[in-house]
Structure 1
Amino acid sequence: MEPKDVWRAVSRHRLLVLTIVVVTGAAVGVGLWLAPKTYVATATLSAASSPQATPTDEDLDSLRGSVGELANSEDVLEEVRSRLSQPRTVEQLRDSIRGRWIQGTILVEIEATDSDPEVAAEIANTTAAVIPIYDPSNGSFLFTTSNPARPPATFSSPNLLLGIGVGVLLAVILAVCGALLRERRVAVVGAPHEVEELADAPVLAQMSQPRDPSTLPALYPGTTAADVFRQLRIALEAEASSDPVTLVVVTGVRPGGVHVWLGANLAVSLANVGRRVLLVDGRVGEEDGRPVAAGQDGAGLYDVLVGDDLDSALSPGPVPGLTVLPAGQWGGEPSDTLLETRFAHVMDEAARRFDIVVVLAPPLDQRDDARVMAAGGSVLLAVPEAGVAQRELREHVARIRSVGVRLLGVVLLTKRPERLAS
């Protein structure tokens, strides 16, 4: 995914992004407000050398380091505990008090942490007052509290800047992820390159949807309308050149007769160049499907599937080289069972007699018949521009390929004037 795709998703779902940012910000704010607060108070103890001191400066510095470590000694902690106005255990004080010598100076810094700012300052000052009692230098230092601790005005933990920074980063990440997830669920199919990426198959043509899906513009070669299907035929033949196909199942992803119109005109276009084409109406049991033609005595695909001879159900098409096998009148036999057990056998027989078989299947969002019919062949998928969600298209394509069927290509149907893939 490119940065422009991320920006497009964020732009399309601005309200969702804003909601996520506000909710995340509020949650972070409430979390910081409810989090336990700790305060740090610091007292500075001066350890100047006594006039009677005999150690060298290096030894005195080492002793000052020992003074800093003395802040956590058992004796000092016990003495500090006994002097505090608020009860604290020795273990609590051990975790609270930190002492260190500031190198290059005569100062020892006493730092105390507590949930109460007043107590934090009291602990630091009390520790600074107790340390001289346990002087490890044997009188080498003169101790004074040069900078008493004061109750801190603000807490040191949680760190506000860090918390706000993490909150902002979290809000941005969640907002972008939310926009991308929403985009995957509701974004509709648009440009050809998006379709090719989603379907992992070429867009063989891009044409406008017909006002009347019962028309056959391919019957009139040389016209602009017929040229659309000539270009589709050329693109389809080029795609199948490396691995020729004899069975092409044409289906769609939405109800309606657009894919039927597409398949019928493709069959006519193939017949116009001398191909022996069988057009099969495989819309079994569709109540709203208009039959392509009627066979002898109304016979059709159903009759062939239950045992009739194929020739008895065939009808001549509107152009030389095109033969039609209509759906027929469906009886009591379950269509699913007939398609799974008999359809492939009938298509094998048809493949021996025709150059190519074009099957008009029900749309994928209604039935799984197209996947069954295309076993051993390929599928040509009609996709309406801005008429199907990207997630749905991806799922349909996955279901087609899950049974080993080849997706030969996609025809993108728009409401604009026809534009063909190069």
Structure 2
Amino acid sequence: MSVDSISSPADALTSEIVPAELLETIAEAAPALDRGDRQVAEFLPELGRAGLLDLGVPGTDGQSARGTLLDQAAVIETIARHSLSLAFSIWGQRMAIEYLATTGGSFAGAHLDGLRCGETVGVSGMAPAFKASAGAGELGLEVGSDGTGLALRGKLAWASNLYPDAVIVSAAYGSPADAIGSTDRRSGPKSIVAFSLSEDGVTAGPELDLLALKGTASTSVGVDIADLASAQVIGEDFSGLLARWRPVAAVLQSSFCLGLAAAAHAGAEAGLRGINEVFTDDVVREGQALVDAKSGLVDIIGRIGTAERPEPREVLSLRLEAGRLATAASALEIRTAGGRGYAVGSHSNRRFREATFIPVQSPSEPQLRWELGRLG
């Protein structure tokens, strides 16, 4: 699809690739996912069978990728129009696949097929890594020898998709060659690590009563693995891998922001009747901003992995604007919905609550603004 193909806020990023029957099922389940009565993991196998979890990721043994990164963005954007919970979960699954497919090795070989088909749940625990690489935070994990073997210790303050046997990819201070705690945390080596939630020494924190996205199995993770296999240190080129992964993570995050924004914008448009017509200019303005952001997303995705790769400022600016659009459009929808929007069970109310997650989801709005300020 070309940038010129997007002319209205409702336009899809690519031709429809999510089966209509599956999309209808997701839409019906959205309120239950929001309440936590159902869990996003229920839908991953069906999405996997439809080939919607690993679009644009090269296959094993050098096989060509099925579909493109833009196709994956379109899947996430489309599903986010109906359920941000599930779109967010797909993002985490897709990124876990990306990490393991990039680094390879025996751990990836043991888990990638299950992740691609949705039978194994994937967790992106890389938020601390992206934050630390920007100088905005610290890693919560540390890896190294403890005198008897390779150990991984620490805590992830927040992660999602934390279902039994889920595979988590994150980052840690240290390396297998060093004793744990022996290197300078800031200037010393940092490694990419992978482990399963079911491993001895890994514990999920207490269930959280979230404002929205209760069906995403989100909480903290405590880690005290005393016998980490060397194959579970899947990468030691910390800076190089993050530079490769961050644009992918950001554009797919932008996709679920824009999907939520598109649904909320449609709801706001539908409410422009009677006295609500005073919001017409606001709805039109945000609609044009949504068209511009979708066009920018298509353009940036088209340049990832090419000689004309997008600059960090472009990627971060897109992610910030996509998040702003989600919150702005949902706020307009609530205003035009009136009393109906105040009812917790309404779609407009659910979207409004879903949108409150966007400014705090990593990278948070403060982090994005801080990074952009540093880039000048």
Aligning the two structures, in what range does the TM-score lie when normalised by the shorter sequence?
A: under 0.3
TM-score, normalised on structure 2? 0.22
If each structure's strand is expressed as a fraction of its own residues, which one has the higher value? 1
TM-score, normalised on structure 1? 0.20
If each structure's helix is expressed as a fraction of its own residues, which one has the higher value? 2
Q: Which structure has the larger Rg over C-alpha atoms?
A: 1
